[in-house]
Chain A
Amino acid sequence: MQTAISPKQNSTKAWLKDNGGMIGLLIFLAAFPFIVALFEGQPFTEVLANETGNAKFLQGLLIEVFILAIYAISYDLILGITGLLSFGHAMFFAAGAYFTGIAFKNYELGIGATLVGIVVLGIVQAILFGIVLPRVKGITFALVTLGMASMFHIIIQASELAEWTGADVGLQGVTTPDLINTSTERFRLYLITLMVTFLVYLVYRRFVDSPTGRVCVAIRENEDRALMLGYNTFHFKLAALILSSITAALAGFFHTVHQPIVSPNVAGLGWTVAALLIILMGGVGTLSGAMVGAAVFRLLEFFLDKQFGENANFLLGVIYVLLVLFLPFGIVGTWRAKRFRTQS
Chain B
Amino acid sequence: MGNLLEVLNIHTFIGQFHILEGVNLEVPQGSITVLLGRNGAGKTTTLKSILGLTPPREGKVIFAGEEIQGQRSFDIAALGIGFVPEHRAIFRDLSVLENLKIAERKKGDLARKEAFIFNLFPDLKRLIKLSGMNLSGGQQQMLAVARALVPDNKLLLIDEPSEGLAPVLIEQMMEAIRQLSQDTTVLLVEQNFLMASRLAERYVIIEEGQSVTQGAMADLVGDEETIHRYLGAA
Contact = CB atoms under 8 A, between A and B. Distances in A.
Given A4-B118, A5-B128, A230-B74, A222 B89 contact: yes
B85 interface: yes
A211 interface: yes
Contacts of A137: none
B74 A227 contact: yes
B92 A221 contact: yes
Interface residues of B, number: 30
A232 interface: yes
Contacts of A285: 93
Nearest to B125: A4
A228 B51 contact: yes
Interface string A203-239: 0000000010011011011101101111111000000
A227 B77 CA distance: 8
A222 to B, nearest CB: 7
Interface in A245-288: 285
Interface string B144-161: 000100010000000000
B53 A229 contact: no
A218 B93 CA distance: 8
A217 B83 CA distance: 19
Contact of A214 (B78, B89, B102, B114): B102
Interface in A1-23: 3-5
Question: Could you say which interface size class chain A belongs to?
Answer: 20 to 34
Contacts of B14: none
A229 B82 CA distance: 7
16 contacts: A4-B125, A4-B128, A5-B97, A214-B101, A215-B102, A217-B93, A221-B93, A228-B73, A228-B77, A228-B83, A229-B102, A229-B103, A230-B77, A230-B105, A233-B74, A344-B134
Interface of A: 3-5, 211, 214-215, 217-218, 220-222, 224-225, 227-233, 285, 344
Interface of B: 51, 53, 72-74, 77-78, 83, 85, 89, 91-94, 97-98, 100-103, 105, 110-111, 114, 118, 125, 128, 134, 147, 151
